[in-house]
């Protein structure tokens, strides 16, 4: 439910999807779709297109990160389309779409998606990029790839929007830079892009931590009994709330947002006998423990700037007042190089789009941006 102007709106439920990748990984996704009342409006004799929106969640989250935003986008966009007149469309004062389709992915190792095999290399940004491309191919939003590096028109396919939260924003940037001909608009939620490698961080120390963590987690992967368990979903939710507070700045996550992430991100294993003989329930997070490994590939500032310059679509960046504490120099640089259409700081924390107290304002900002010609 979402409170809109004093009225409570029951948001539509998602349809669950499974998308098979060429390497055997299966991606889970949630889908919302609605035909708008603007489907009969004709512009220059051509019916309007479908607005397609792909949502990418953050690190160790899942598709439920968009439990408010995705269905609310459907409701708000449908309402805006209903109010759009043919005259507004013809005068290019309003965009018009025959339908709206929003898809939220569970990235590999997150939510209900497959984990990579134990002998697979660790996830790096280029790998996430591959799986996003595979999902888009399965959704038939893009054409099959062709040999060569030349950028080909997306024949008979229209451009789509990517909405990213945190790590998902970094993946969205990579995709928009690599495939600019496919992306209509970008939305970053409490993110500026992939984090840049810090010059004051020891490369050797990072390698040491990576090896040691991989050795320890290898034991956990080999024997799930070594994993950390919670006695209930409520305990897992409390842990998720506490983990948000451990990040830099004054970050927090709402009870509802944490509950939604836990609902999709936690699984109950077989109970075991406790010391008194009673069965003891066990809940653990589904995400791949390898997600916590140190990254072996960090972008330099020059590489990040190059990616910014390759983006050819309008970009909207919405930051939380109590979100990730980006340095002013970082904010100024992204505004100078990427030159986003919208750059705004709003009430809320890192998961401002998932917090029922501020999500409506976030949705309204995004809808206004998406409807710009």
For 61-112, the DSSP string reads --GGGGTTHHHHHHHHHHHHHHH--HHHHHTTSS--EEEEEEEEE--TTSTT
Q: Which domains does the chain have, with CATH numbers?
A: 2-146+153-195+299-370 (3.40.50.1820), 225-292 (no CATH)
Q: pLDDT band at 44, cuts 50/70/90? A: low
The answer to whether residue 222 scores a pLDDT higher than 70 is: no
Q: pLDDT band at 187, cuts 50/70/90? A: very high
Which residues have CB under 8 Å from 198's CB, separation 6+? none
Tell me how far apart the alpha carbons of residues 218 and 220 are, in angstroms, rounded to a whole number: 5
The answer to whether residue 281 scores a pLDDT higher than 60 is: yes
The strand pairing partners of 100, in sequence order, are: 34, 51
Check residue 5 and give its pLDDT: 45
When the pLDDT of each residue in the chain is averaged and rounded to a whole number, the result is 87
Two structure tokens written together for 297: 């590939």
DSSP state of 281: E
Tens digit of each residue's pLDDT (9 = 90 or more) over 292-349: 887 777 788 899 999 999 999 999 999 999 999 999 999 999 999 999 999 999 999 9
* CA angle in degrees (0–180, nearest 5) for 104-118-112: 25
Strand residues in the chain grouped as ranges (E): 2-4, 7-9, 15-20, 26-35, 49-56, 97-105, 160-165, 183-189, 266-273, 279-285, 315-322, 342-349
Tell me how far apart the alpha carbons of residues 213 and 207 are, in angstroms, rounded to a whole number: 10
- Over residues 36-61, the mean pLDDT reads 77
Q: pLDDT band at 84, cuts 50/70/90? A: low
Most confident residue range from 4-8, 107-111, 122-126, 218-222: 107-111
Tens digit of each residue's pLDDT (9 = 90 or more) over 282-308: 999 999 888 888 777 778 889 999 999
Backbone angles phi, psi at 368, to 5 degrees: -60, -40
Tell me how far apart the alpha carbons of residues 37 and 32 are, in angstroms, rounded to a whole number: 16
Which residues have CB under 8 Å from 14's CB, separation 6+? 30, 31, 32, 70, 71, 104
Distances 11 to 3, 121, 318 between C-alpha atoms, Å: 10, 39, 23
Check residue 278 and give its pLDDT: 81
Check residue 6 and give its pLDDT: 46
Which residues have CB under 8 Å from 129's CB, separation 6+? 171, 174, 175, 178
Q: Are 173 and 128 in contact (CB under 8 A)?
A: no
Q: Are 65 and 58 in contact (CB under 8 A)?
A: yes
* Residue among 54, 142, 162 at smallest CA distance from 103: 54
DSSP state of 140: T
Tell me how far apart the alpha carbons of residues 208 and 204 are, in angstroms, rounded to a whole number: 6
Sign of CA dihedral 58, 140, 92, 311: positive
What is the model's pTM? 0.90
């Amino acid at each position: 439910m979402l409170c809109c102007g004093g009225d409570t709106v029951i948001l539509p439920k998602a349809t669950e999807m499974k998308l098979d990748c060429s390497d055997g990984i299966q991606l889970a996704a949630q889908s919302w779709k609605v035909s708008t009342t603007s489907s009969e409006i004709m512009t220059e004799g051509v019916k309007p297109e479908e607005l397609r929106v792909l949502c990418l969640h953050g690190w160790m989250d899942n598709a439920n990160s968009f439990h408010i935003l995705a269905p609310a986008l459907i409701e708000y966009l449908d309402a805006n389309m209903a109010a759009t007149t043919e005259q507004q469309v013809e005068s290019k004062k309003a965009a018009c779409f025959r339908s709206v389709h929003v898809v939220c992915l569970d990235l590999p190792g997150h939510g209900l998606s497959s984990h990579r095999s134990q002998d697979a290399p660790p996830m790096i940004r280029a790998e996430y990029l591959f799986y996003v491309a595979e999902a888009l191919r399965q959704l038939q939003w893009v054409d099959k790839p062709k040999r060569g590096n030349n950028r080909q028109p997306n024949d008979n396919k229209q451009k789509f929007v990517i909405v990213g939260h945190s790590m998902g924003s970094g993946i969205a940037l990579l995709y928009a830079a690599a495939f600019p001909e496919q992306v209509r608009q970008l939305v970053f939620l409490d993110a500026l892009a992939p984090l840049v490698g810090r010059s004051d961080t020891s490369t050797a120390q990072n390698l040491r931590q990576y090896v040691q963590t991989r050795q320890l987690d290898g034991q956990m992967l080999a024997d799930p009994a070594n994993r950390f368990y919670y006695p209930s979903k409520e305990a897992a939710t409390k842990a998720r709330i506490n983990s948000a507070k451990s990040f830099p700045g004054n970050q927090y996550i709402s009870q509802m947002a944490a509950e939604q992430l836990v609902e999709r991100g936690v699984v109950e294993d077989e109970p075991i006998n406790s010391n008194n003989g009673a069965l003891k329930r066990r809940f653990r997070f589904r995400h791949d423990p390898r997600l916590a490994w140190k990254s072996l590939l960090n972008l330099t500032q020059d590489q990040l700037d190059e990616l910014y310059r390759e983006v050819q679509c309008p970009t909207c960046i919405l930051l939380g007042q109590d979100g990730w504490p980006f340095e002013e120099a970082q904010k100024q640089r992204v505004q100078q190089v990427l030159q986003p259409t919208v750059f705004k700081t709003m009430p809320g924390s890192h998961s401002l789009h998932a917090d029922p107290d501020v999500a409506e304002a976030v949705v309204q900002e995004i809808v206004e941006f998406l409807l710009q010609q």
